[in-house]
Chains A and B, each alone.
Chain A
Amino acid sequence: MEKILAEAQLNMNRRHFFGRTASGLGIGALAHLLGQDLSAQENQAVGGLPGLPHFAAKAKRVIYLFQSGGPSHLDLFDYKPGVAKVSGTDLPESVRGGQRLTTMTSMQASFPVVPSLFKFAQHGQSGAWLSELLPNTARVADNLCFIKSLYTDQINHDPAVTFAQTGFQLAGRPSLGSWISYGLGTENKDLPAFVVMISVGSSDQPLYDRLWGAGFLPSRYQGVKLRSVGDPVLYISDPDGFDREQRRRFIDDLDKLNQIGLEKYSDPEIGTRIAQYEMAFRMQTSVPELTDLSKEPASTFELYGEDAKKPGTFAGNCLMARRLAERGVRFIQLYHRGWDHHSNLPALLPVQAKLVDQASAGLIEDLKQRGLLDDTLVIWGGEFGRTVYCQGKLTPTDYGRDHHGRCFTMWMAGAGIKPGMSYGETDDYGYNIAKNPVHIHDVNATILNQLGIDHTRLTYKYQGRNFRLTDVHGEVVKGIVS
């Protein structure tokens, strides 16, 4: 035990990790907490697996702007002028290819194709085609890489979102962020490695804790939700009438008592617990500092939009994502809902696009100005796209679109992703992939790749099998990485 403690002490000194717990007890603690052997090689990061990253990383962190519900690639990104000429005609059977549809439209008598009502134009030096609904995205288009040939196996929200975020359609697998914090650990000692934010008021399809859950990985790798109502992190606020000095004293006294226990039981777990209370204390300081926007200059809000002043809006969360990125948080997961336009798309989509366009672009510009885009990977996309044929009644001013997993668009930016390009193509209907298909597993393999992880080698043994995020699939999309 003494040896363990001595090592722990050494470790601690090396990392200057525990500012306050001068006693040095419990110290096996942090390393233990972060899943690192005491003897493990020294990483810059704390925690994480030895030997990781597998190779030089382009990205130090990820911001994933998940657009839940299935944004219409046909009305936002994937310009299909040819569809206008055949508007209202039935989608040819040769294009449909008899693949499965959701039962929402599989019983429709006909499948009239419907062009986008929105104007498209080319933008930037790269000449990216974008819909008029995304004027700000258009402004930063030269920084983005559009993957237009993404596809997924799933056609309904729950399995499709679960698939995109965990690599498997059923509950139980670790999420992307938890794999990454398991593999790479954290670079911030006062904040969780994996933070999740959800736009308030964004409606329709539900989300589920499993999307940022740790699955079969130890639960400490699960995402921690940063909330805009109530406590920003659950239970982080001390009770009313109890000040910081009291909390400090409380933890000091608790430490003393637990140290007595540690001497008695020689159980390293007690040391870990002491360290956890220290971390909790530091989180209580760092989280309010994180969420305090009072020092943000006016220019910030010009960039992200006035909405960013309102906690929990998509814009507010984008700004928070940048603040988290600055503080070295490894994986920042945003969710924005409201893209599920089965009907009334022409009226609803512009409103929805406006909610995210400026802040998405603002985030890119802000990261770039601060030099953070070089090592921050930003991802924008949802669980699937939408059908070129109309769901429900087609009128000159109204249409709806059903779920479509056979092709859709996502963009990535920063951290070694080639800027100003489009990758992959769909057919004239935007219904099938014509060139360079990219599967969800490929995206996830690429995300890991940018972080310096070989997706086939980040594994965890569970129920007798080595599992990985990409199951037995996935290829890094070489065409988009520099």
Chain B
Amino acid sequence: MQMARRFEIGLGFSLLLAASLGAQEAIPQTIQFNRDIRPILSENCFTCHGPDKSHRTTVFHFDIEESAKQDLGKGHYAIFPGDLEKSALIQRITAPDERRRMPPAATGKKLSEHQIALLSAWIKQGAPWEKHWSFEPPKRPEVPKVADSARVRNPIDNFIVHRLEQEGLKLSPEADRATLLRRLTLDLTGKGPTTAEMDRFLADKSPDAYEKLADRLMQSPHYGERMALPWLDAARYADTSGYQQDHERFMWRWRDWVIDAFNKNMPFDKFTIEQLAGDLLPNPTLDQKIATAFNRNHRTNAEGGIVAEEFAAEYVVDRVATTSSVFLGVTLGCARCHDHKYDPFTQKEFYQLFAYFNNVPELGHSRRGNSNPHIQAPTPEQQAELKKYDDQIASASARFTKLRPALNASESAWLKSIANAPAMQWAPSRGLVAHYALDGNLGGEPAPNGKPLPESKWEGSGQFSNGLMGQAASFDGKSHIVLGDVGDFDYMNKFTLSAWIFPTAGTGAIVSRFQGEPQGKGYTLQLKDSKVEAIFAFRVPDHALRVETDKPIELNQWHHVMASYSGSPEARNLTVYVDGVPQTVKVIMDILTESVSIKAPLRIGGGGGPENQFHGLIDDVRIYNTELNAEEAGILSVSKSLNELAKVSPGQRSAAESNKVRSAFLDSSSVPAEIRSAFGQVSKLREQRANYDEGISTLMVMEEMPTPRETHVLLRGAYDAPGEVVTPGVPAILPPIPADFPKNRLGFAKWLVDPSNPLTARVAVNRFWQMFFGTGIVKTVDDFGSQGESPSHPELLDWLATEFVRTGWNVKEMQKTILTSATYRQASEATPEMVQKDPENRLLAHGARYRLPAETLRDQALSMAGLLVEKLGGPSVKPYQPEGLWTDLTQQGQYVQEHGENLYRRSLYTFWKRTIPPPSMANFDAPSRESCTVQRGFTNSPLQALDLMNDVSYLEAARVLAERMMKEGGATAEQRIAFAFRLATGRLPSAGESRVLAESLHYSLVKFQTRPNSAIKYLKVGEHPRDQKIDAQELAAYTTIASLIINLDETVTKE
């Protein structure tokens, strides 16, 4: 097996040629080092005689010519050009004594006769060396002349035909126009053409009809969606974080950026620079920052108990591995733990690249949702909407400001009127859940129109004494108040806790809903060593938000304390106020990804164990289910009544006092109608804007720390084994970074797309080739190193690469060149001779033919049914999925299927949970998106058959397609069958095909007619309403035919 594969990879074409001539072991006339020799050395010798110096067993090594041919003393040479006798290499690989023979038996490797013959012939020919092809810059090759020049449409064909002619082969005829239309439409928009598009193209007799078609398809917004598909795989894009609970995250704004970039035909160099370093460009735009999410798409771990440093290192490794795979086509990941075994990359060089990506202000322990650094990333529509709010607020505020003199006057009059009235208080009521005045009883006042509160009771012997506002509850450290099921806030809820305290000791809970020590869970606002501490914990030691004020508070006097929380689980969103002033805090713990909701009751003066009960007085406790702001905190910290404040002259009132008076007045019935309305307008708009703002998605992006983090070589790749310090840099085998480039990620990104870089353009065009032909010119699209396969058409690859750079990295132009070539336009029918000669069709003597990607299969079926909703972008959606798949595996989060148009969006918008990917995508080789993937398989399995036959998506599409057949397809069964067949394959059925389908229809109809209820049952699939006017039995029979057509090999295949 090993041997077979090595032949396939290393010697593909000479072997192919040899096989066709009937000589299995033919040796080429001129041995080419890169094609014929390097693969043998790499596979069999490099492990011990290769680039990894720590594993070398001898002074010479075969990855470098000088070393391999050096004088080893006493006339010994590993390789002596031209002399087999003197070349120890040959002596050792042919040694009769097993103990002397190379490679050693223990390695399990064995050279074939053919490989030995190749090595011998090569040494006889003088052992000419070549630098590994991919590290040499591409040279613009001369376009070869071909005999059959009539078929040539552009230089691509010269290269392909030239190679074919060497084998005595030629291009196949051009595919018929219907096939071409379907092929190109699938390749450029990810679904098949509509009937109208077919008619239009077939009617266009102009000589450049095909070119015009390519242009038109490239202008379609769905072009960007199609191009995004492989890019999302490469960028390991998903909607969840990928480890353990695999929580949802929000990266779709980046996905939409990608679609947009392709649609705008952003040059590939710009596309590269913005994704790798858009944040470092001068005055980066929001879009340029959004682009950098490319390197935040990797998985992040929020599991409790992990060592954060370990995963922080993994994230950077992932960035290096992904970036090198996607742009350089090399497998640098190998050099994480040791020098690369096969390619000239040292471990140190790996960490030099690592250093570029190691300066993100991030934590190894990620959050639920988006982790830092993240930005708010409004869509263009949302940006416009926000602007509209801002404008409206500005004009409403202006109206209100104009009324200020009138407001001041009426407020003064009101204050006069209440100065001698009984004591009046005012406090914010926005979001109030409960208010406990503690004026001699425990009764709480619920929110206006709120539920009655549960009964409260003392735990221990409690009492009341004089408080700040009426009476207060008095605590002796042995008792507290139990309020019952109030304030059940979880970590995604906003809330505010407010209380007046007169502490006589420095430690004790003020307000809490908390249980279990020392691994407690819940929330608490408490004193600890005279500091105010707010805890919001799933498990106190490691899974909590915990902050404490820097400054202690003074004991034995009244203070107002408050904690407010924005509903986003980060310590910075937990604000502690003392006496109305936001406090600077020490963050003790800043990781919270699990629910903190518990059954324990809300308590005043206790919670967190008997040691943690309050000493002193507590008064006027308020619980809110919203985040109060600083102004509101100020108001709450004013204990004076409105009547008292009325007696203070306006100039003497503090800002908080003035706010209290003003807020109370505006809330009173004494406000003149005009002012009330103007103020109401401003408040309403502000609230609306705030609500709107909350719905705007955030996005994790790259950001550079002001001081770069020090990067070390990690010994054996382990996070806790730092070796020498390294600075950013690129591998020595590749051209150096120009001195005037910035010494950061931006410089690295510019270097990637510098014309001197031998890899980037080749790797990019090779993947375009793979997208359109199924296989790259270099089959191992992610390995251009010595273990990868050599290009099938090296000169074509270089021509494409240089052409790409020459045209300014113009993606659409490059793709159009490929797609308008005669090579691409060939028919995909093969002859048995072709299959035998070139089973993988690497020479392209006929058009490529392979199964459609998972997403395209579904989109095509939806499109045939007319169900596909062609709306661009937006949050991911949840279409049909078999029930319970998530709950089989995790207790957290259920897949809640959506309805209506979200059932029929393009598949690239389907919600992607990495640990449980959508099964109908995974069945058809979509990767899990756990790591970078630049090549999908084309497997063929029984699960695929079951999926296409029985998945509700495909059955519903068949049912709705059947309606179309009956309504739009014509009057006869034959016409209707032809209608659907053409929608699926782009062509009309042959007489034979038509007959099979017609007979099948007849069978189905009889079957459903003899079992009347079965048709009704069969048609109950999917949520799209059925046209009740159509006869159920007939529709059921057509549905079976539509399903058959959806299952057809030709339908699931790109011809």
Contacts from A to B (Cβ < 8 Å): 1-4, 32-33, 37, 49-51, 100, 102-105, 107-108, 155-158, 170-172, 198, 200, 203-210, 213, 218-220, 224-225, 227, 229-231, 233-243, 245-247, 249-250, 253-254, 256-258, 260-261, 264-270, 272-273, 276-277, 279-280, 283-284, 342-343, 391-393, 400, 402-403, 456-457, 459, 461, 463-465
Alpha-carbon distance between A200 and B887 when the two chains are bound, in angstroms: 9
Interface residues of B in 68-103 (CB under 8 A from A): none
Contacting pair B334 A465 (CB below 8 A): yes
Contacting residues, chain A, for B938 (C-beta < 8 A): 269
Kindly list 19 other residue pairs between chains A and B, CB separation below 8 angstroms, not including A204-B891, A249-B1004, A280-B943. A50-B1, A103-B306, A158-B243, A170-B931, A172-B930, A208-B915, A209-B917, A210-B915, A229-B883, A234-B919, A235-B949, A238-B949, A241-B1017, A246-B1007, A257-B1048, A258-B1048, A266-B830, A283-B942, A464-B780
Contacting pair A272 B1000 (CB below 8 A): no
Q: Which of A230, A258, A272, A392 contacts B883 (CB 8 A)?
A: A230
Alpha-carbon distance between A261 and B519 when the two chains are bound, in angstroms: 66
Using CB atoms, name the residue of chain B closest to A2. Answer: B832
Given A206-B915, A265-B849, A266-B829, A250-B1044 contact (CB < 8 Å): yes
Contacting residues, chain B, for A206 (C-beta < 8 A): 244-246, 889-892, 915
Contacting pair B945 A276 (CB below 8 A): yes
- Comparing B373-381, B698-706, B808-816, B991-999, the segment that makes contact with chain A is B991-999
Q: Is B649 located at the chain interface by the 8 A CB criterion?
A: no
Which of A260, A283, A463 has the largest count of B CB atoms less than 10 A from its CB?
A: A463
Smallest beta-carbon distance A172→chain B, Å: 5
Contacting residues, chain B, for A100 (C-beta < 8 A): 307, 720
Contacting pair A273 B882 (CB below 8 A): no
Given A104-B542, A465-B334, A171-B242 contact (CB < 8 Å): yes
Contacting pair A253 B925 (CB below 8 A): no
Q: Is B785 located at the chain interface by the 8 A CB criterion?
A: yes
Q: Which of B541, B780, B786 contacts A104 (CB 8 A)?
A: B541
Using CB atoms, name the residue of chain A closest to B941. Answer: A220
Q: Which of A171, A204, A260, A403 contacts B931 (CB 8 A)?
A: A171
Contacting residues, chain B, for A400 (C-beta < 8 A): 519
Q: Is B287 located at the chain interface by the 8 A CB criterion?
A: no
Contacting pair B539 A269 (CB below 8 A): no
Alpha-carbon distance between A238 and B1013 when the two chains are bound, in angstroms: 16
Which of A155, A198, A253 has the largest count of B CB atoms less than 10 A from its CB?
A: A253
Contacting pair B992 A463 (CB below 8 A): no
17 A-B interface contacts by CB (under 8 A) = A103-B304, A104-B542, A156-B303, A171-B931, A225-B888, A230-B882, A230-B884, A235-B949, A236-B950, A240-B1014, A241-B1019, A243-B1011, A266-B832, A342-B519, A392-B518, A459-B2, A463-B780
Smallest beta-carbon distance A184→chain B, Å: 13
Chain B interface category by residue count: 35 or more
Q: Is B207 located at the chain interface by the 8 A CB criterion?
A: no
Residues 290-311 of B, flagged 1 when their CB comes within 8 A of A and 0 if not, give 0000000001010111111000
Contacting pair A234 B835 (CB below 8 A): no
Contacting pair A461 B5 (CB below 8 A): yes
Contacting pair A276 B1044 (CB below 8 A): no
Contacting residues, chain B, for A155 (C-beta < 8 A): 305, 307
Q: Is B831 located at the chain interface by the 8 A CB criterion?
A: yes
Alpha-carbon distance between A6 and B296 when the two chains are bound, in angstroms: 53
Alpha-carbon distance between A245 and B1004 when the two chains are bound, in angstroms: 10
Contacting pair A260 B788 (CB below 8 A): no
Contacting pair B916 A209 (CB below 8 A): yes
Given A229-B883, A240-B1020, A464-B937 contact (CB < 8 Å): no
Smallest beta-carbon distance A410→chain B, Å: 22
Interface residues of B in 940-960 (CB under 8 A from A): 940-947, 949-951, 955
Contacting pair B884 A456 (CB below 8 A): no
Which of B519, B943, B1003 has the largest count of A CB atoms less than 10 A from its CB?
A: B943
Q: Is B1016 located at the chain interface by the 8 A CB criterion?
A: yes
Contacting pair A219 B939 (CB below 8 A): yes
Smallest beta-carbon distance B492→chain A, Å: 19
Alpha-carbon distance between A151 and B516 when the two chains are bound, in angstroms: 32
Alpha-carbon distance between A250 and B946 when the two chains are bound, in angstroms: 12
Interface residues of B in 1027-1055 (CB under 8 A from A): 1036, 1040, 1043-1044, 1047-1050, 1052-1053, 1055
Contacting residues, chain B, for A157 (C-beta < 8 A): 244, 303
Contacting pair A280 B942 (CB below 8 A): yes
Q: Which of B788, B930, B1000 contacts A253 (CB 8 A)?
A: B1000
Using CB atoms, name the residue of chain A closest to B243. Answer: A158
Contacts from B to A (Cβ < 8 Å): 1-2, 4-5, 108, 242-246, 299, 301, 303-308, 314, 331, 333-334, 341-343, 516-519, 539, 541-543, 720, 780, 782-783, 785-788, 828-832, 834-836, 849-851, 882-884, 888-892, 914-917, 919, 922-923, 925, 928, 930-931, 937-947, 949-951, 955, 990, 992-993, 996-997, 999-1000, 1003-1004, 1007-1008, 1011, 1013-1021, 1036, 1040, 1043-1044, 1047-1050, 1052-1053, 1055
Using CB atoms, name the residue of chain B closest to A190. Answer: B942
Contacting residues, chain A, for B1014 (C-beta < 8 A): 240-243
Q: Which of B890, B1003, B1036 contacts A207 (CB 8 A)?
A: B890
Alpha-carbon distance between A385 and B304 when the two chains are bound, in angstroms: 17
Contacting pair A218 B780 (CB below 8 A): no
Smallest beta-carbon distance A259→chain B, Å: 10
Contacting pair A463 B782 (CB below 8 A): yes
Alpha-carbon distance between A86 and B993 when the two chains are bound, in angstroms: 82
Contacting residues, chain A, for B831 (C-beta < 8 A): 1, 266
Contacting pair A270 B946 (CB below 8 A): no
Contacting pair B889 A207 (CB below 8 A): yes
Alpha-carbon distance between A267 and B1050 when the two chains are bound, in angstroms: 11
Contacting pair B891 A203 (CB below 8 A): yes
Given A239-B1018, A250-B1040, A392-B519, A264-B829 contact (CB < 8 Å): yes
Alpha-carbon distance between A213 and B926 when the two chains are bound, in angstroms: 12
Contacting pair A102 B1017 (CB below 8 A): no
Given A230-B884, A249-B1000, A254-B1047, A105-B541 contact (CB < 8 Å): yes
Alpha-carbon distance between A210 and B940 when the two chains are bound, in angstroms: 20
Alpha-carbon distance between A204 and B883 when the two chains are bound, in angstroms: 20
Q: 8 smallest A-B Cβ distances: which pairs?
A: A464-B787, A1-B832, A102-B305, A241-B1018, A241-B1017, A206-B890, A208-B915, A171-B930
Contacting pair B945 A279 (CB below 8 A): yes
Using CB atoms, name the residue of chain A closest to B304. Answer: A104
Using CB atoms, name the residue of chain B closest to A229. Answer: B884
Using CB atoms, name the residue of chain A closest to B6. Answer: A461
Smallest beta-carbon distance A225→chain B, Å: 7
Smallest beta-carbon distance B861→chain A, Å: 14
Contacting residues, chain A, for B788 (C-beta < 8 A): 464
Which of B242, B305, B996 has the largest count of A CB atoms less than 10 A from its CB?
A: B305
Alpha-carbon distance between A59 and B474 when the two chains are bound, in angstroms: 74
Smallest beta-carbon distance B599→chain A, Å: 15
Smallest beta-carbon distance A195→chain B, Å: 12
Q: Which of B539, B951, B1007, B1044 contacts A254 (CB 8 A)?
A: B1044
Given A265-B849, A276-B941, A403-B305, A209-B1049 contact (CB < 8 Å): no
Q: Which of A208, A276, A465 contacts B341 (CB 8 A)?
A: A465
Smallest beta-carbon distance A180→chain B, Å: 16
Which of A157, A243, A403 has the largest count of B CB atoms less than 10 A from its CB?
A: A157
Contacting residues, chain A, for B1017 (C-beta < 8 A): 239-241
Contacting pair B889 A198 (CB below 8 A): yes
Given A51-B1, A241-B1016, A208-B785 contact (CB < 8 Å): no
Which of A1, A205, A265, A457 has the largest count of B CB atoms less than 10 A from its CB?
A: A265
Smallest beta-carbon distance A169→chain B, Å: 9
Smallest beta-carbon distance B451→chain A, Å: 31
Using CB atoms, name the residue of chain A closest to B1021. Answer: A239
Given A158-B243, A249-B1000, A267-B849 contact (CB < 8 Å): yes
Contacting pair B836 A1 (CB below 8 A): yes
Alpha-carbon distance between A160 and B940 when the two chains are bound, in angstroms: 32
Contacting pair B883 A253 (CB below 8 A): no
Contacting residues, chain B, for A249 (C-beta < 8 A): 1000, 1003-1004
